[in-house]
Structure formats: structure tokens, C-alpha cells
């Protein structure tokens, strides 16, 4: 075998070795021939022309976890919140993913960030903090069409965290403390008001009962005086007895008093009583 033959054989062996490509599972390789897209190598053993063709790109066919860093977002009511997300994407068209955008991962990350700012910017603070599902749905819808043009499929988008900024949290805490203090003051004032109302109602009820008692007593006194007058007109012995009893009780109280030094009792109590009634014996 001549040296030329050996050289040719060596070149052929090297070319075959260079041309053999084993694509692992979970990847697909883009082959270019003379700088132009020539085809895609799927997982397995392939042989290409090592002189005219080359593997230009190796693209994963697995789901890609795209982490979107935390960013400041201003809500509709000018509150600053911090939000970050994670997107799960998959390459569905390798040719578009490779030649349609320079770096599809970075492009998708920027797209998610921009769309997230736009969506949250249309909400007020309370809506933004309590509407994760709505934000997630709107975010996926906003980036899905653009991702499809780049040969990508958006499988899911999740909001990792959404919270007020540190300055906003301090302001919200101060607002909450002021609201609690206001509620406490209102509650205390309401309690004092109810207490005054109850006291006034109690006094009113007591005055009403007292007036009723006085009315009953006055009615009873008037009735007694009326009956006494009738008895006096009829020279009723019972009336004489009643006045005599009251007269004796009055004299007894005068005798029991510490201030009484001398009590003069009439000799004839019955005559005294009759004189009070205007009657002589």
C-alpha cells in the first residue's frame, strides 16, 4: 500500500469519525450546510458530511424553567410593590427558536417582566395583592402569542411573590395602626354615648315613677280629705276617733323629742278633739 493510499484511508477514517453524531435524549441539533439551515438531528446516531455540514445549535426539548427576577412595579394608585414570577416554556419549533430570535430565553424573560409591569400597573394596590390568579391568567395570555412566533410554547406562568416594598409596608403599618386607634376612639365614644343615654333613660324613668307615686299619694290624700269632710258633716264617730288618734300620736312624738322640755296635755282629750272639729261638747 502506497503512502498516498494510507493518507486517503486516514482522511476517510477521520471524516467518518468527525461525521458521526450521537444526539442524546432530550436534545435536538441544528445542522447547517455551507452556512444555511440544512436540517435537525433528533436523538440517536447520525452521520453528516463533516466537510460541508456542521452542528450549529444544540437545543433542549425539555421544559425550560425560566426564572423572572424580582422587580419594582407601580400600581394604578401609585403604590410600589415587588413582584417576581417563573415561566415554564418548551421549544416547539426549533428553527424559529434558533433563527427567529437571538436569545429566546432572555427574550421571554424580558417579555414576562414587561407584561407583568403592564398588568399590575392597571390595578390598584389591594387588587394587585389579592388577584394572583387573575394576574397569572392575563400574563400567560399576554406572552403566549409572541412566544408562538418564536417557536415556543408557554406551558404555565406562576407568580412567585408579590408584596409591597419596604417603604410601602411601613406606610401600610402606620395606616393600620391609625385605623385601629380610630376604631378604638369611636368605640369608646359610642360606649360613653350609650352610657349617657342609659343614665338619662334611667333618670327619666325614675322621675316618671316618682311623679306617678306623688300623683297616687295626692289622689289618696284628696280622697281622704273628701271622706273626712263627709264624715265631719255627718258627725261620724269614726272621724272623731281618727282625729283623736292622730292628735295623741302627735303629742307622743312631741314628748319623745329631745328638744321638748315641757309638754302640756289637755285634761279632756275628747273635748279637745271635738274643738278641732269645730264641735262643742
Residue 185 counted as domain residue: no
Is 180 a domain residue? no
Q: Over its length of 281 residues, how does the chain's per-residue pLDDT go in tens digits?
A: 577 677 777 777 777 777 788 889 989 999 999 888 889 999 998 888 888 888 888 999 999 999 989 888 888 888 888 998 999 999 999 999 999 888 899 999 999 999 999 999 888 888 888 888 899 999 999 998 889 989 999 999 998 888 887 776 666 667 777 777 788 788 888 888 888 888 888 888 888 888 888 877 778 767 766 765 666 565 555 556 565 666 666 666 666 666 555 555 554 555 655 555 555 44
Domain boundary among 39, 60, 81: 60
DSSP alpha helix (H) spans, the chain: 3-19, 94-99, 104-121, 125-130, 132-149, 166-233, 237-256, 269-276
* One domain for residues 12 and 77: no
The pTM assigned to this predicted structure is: 0.56
68 with 113: CB under 8 angstroms?
Answer: yes
Q: Are residues 78 and 155 in the same domain?
A: yes
Residue where the block lists cell 461525521: 19
92 and 54 within one domain: no
pLDDT at residue 3, as a whole number = 72
**Domain shared by 213 and 245, yes or no:** no
Distance CA 243, CA 7 (A): 162
187 in a structural domain: no
CATH code (residue 138): 3.30.479.30
Residues 12 and 90 in one domain: no
Query: Do 160 and 229 fall into the same domain?
Result: no
CA separation for the pair 42, 24 (Å, rounded) = 8
Would you tell me how many other CB atoms lie within 10 Å of the CB of residue 114?
Answer: 13
47 with 92, same domain: the answer is: no
Q: Cell digits for 192?
A: 360613653
Q: What pLDDT, on the 0 to 100 scale, is given for residue 281? A: 46
Residue 266 has a pLDDT of 55
User: Would 177 be classed as within a structural domain?
Assistant: no
189 lies in a domain?
no
User: 70 and 166: one domain?
Assistant: yes
What residues contact residue 277 under an 8 Å CB cut-off, 6+ apart?
Answer: 232, 239, 240, 243
CB 125 within 8 Å of CB 81 = yes
Given 27, 42, 60, which residue is the final one in a domain?
60
Distance CA 280, CA 42 (A): 147
Note whether 94 and 32 are within 8 A (CB). no
Asked if 149 and 242 sit in the same domain, the reply is no
Instruction: Report yes or no on 179 lying in a domain.
Output: no
* pLDDT attached to residue 90: 92
Domain boundary among 45, 60, 75: 60
Q: Structural domain tally of the chain?
A: 4
Q: Are residues 278 and 225 in the same domain?
A: no
Burial class (CB within 10 angstroms; exposed 0-12, middle 13-18, buried 19+) of 139 = buried
Q: Which of 248, 239, 238 is nearest to 272 (CA)?
A: 248
Position 36 in a domain: yes
| Same domain as 150, residue 76 | yes
Note down the domain range covering 249: 235-281
Judgement on whether residues 82 and 144 belong to the same structural domain of the protein: yes
Q: Which residue pairs, CB below 8 angstroms and at least 24 apart, start in 265-269?
A: 269/244
Integer Cα distance of 254 and 147 in angstroms: 115
The answer to whether residue 183 sits within a structural domain is no
Amino acid at each position: 500500500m502506497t503512502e498516498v493510499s494510507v493518507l486517503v484511508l486516514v482522511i476517510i477514517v477521520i471524516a467518518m469519525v468527525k461525521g458521526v453524531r450521537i444526539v442524546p435524549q432530550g436534545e435536538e441539533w441544528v445542522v447547517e450546510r455551507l452556512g444555511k439551515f440544512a436540517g435537525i438531528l433528533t436523538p440517536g446516531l447520525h452521520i453528516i458530511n463533516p466537510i460541508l455540514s456542521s452542528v450549529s445549535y444544540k437545543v433542549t426539548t425539555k421544559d425550560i424553567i425560566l426564572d423572572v427576577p424580582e422587580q419594582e412595579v407601580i400600581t394604578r394608585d401609585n403604590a410600589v410593590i415587588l413582584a417576581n414570577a417563573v415561566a415554564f416554556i418548551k421549544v416547539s419549533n426549533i428553527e424559529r427558536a434558533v433563527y427567529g430570535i437571538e436569545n429566546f430565553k432572555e427574550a421571554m424573560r424580558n417579555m414576562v417582566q414587561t407584561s407583568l409591569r403592564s398588568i399590575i400597573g392597571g390595578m390598584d394596590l389591594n387588587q394587585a395583592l389579592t388577584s394572583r390568579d387573575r394576574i397569572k391568567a392575563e400574563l400567560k395570555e399576554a406572552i403566549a402569542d409572541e412566544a408562538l412566533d418564536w417557536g415556543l410554547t408557554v406551558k404555565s406562568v406562576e407568580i412567585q411573590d408579590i408584596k409591597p416594598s419596604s417603604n410601602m409596608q411601613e406606610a401600610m403599618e402606620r395606616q393600620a395602626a391609625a385605623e385601629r386607634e380610630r376604631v378604638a376612639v369611636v368605640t369608646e365614644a359610642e360606649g360613653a354615648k350609650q352610657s349617657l343615654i342609659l343614665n338619662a333613660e334611667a333618670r327619666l324613668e325614675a322621675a316618671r315613677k316618682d311623679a306617678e307615686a306623688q300623683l297616687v299619694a295626692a289622689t289618696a290624700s284628696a280622697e281622704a280629705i273628701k271622706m273626712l269632710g263627709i264624715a265631719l258633716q255627718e258627725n261620724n264617730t269614726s272621724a272623731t276617733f281618727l282625729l283623736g288618734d292622730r292628735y295623741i300620736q302627735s303629742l307622743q312624738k312631741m314628748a319623745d323629742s329631745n328638744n321638748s322640755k315641757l309638754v302640756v296635755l289637755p285634761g279632756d282629750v275628747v273635748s279637745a278633739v271635738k274643738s278641732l272639729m269645730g264641735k262643742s261638747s
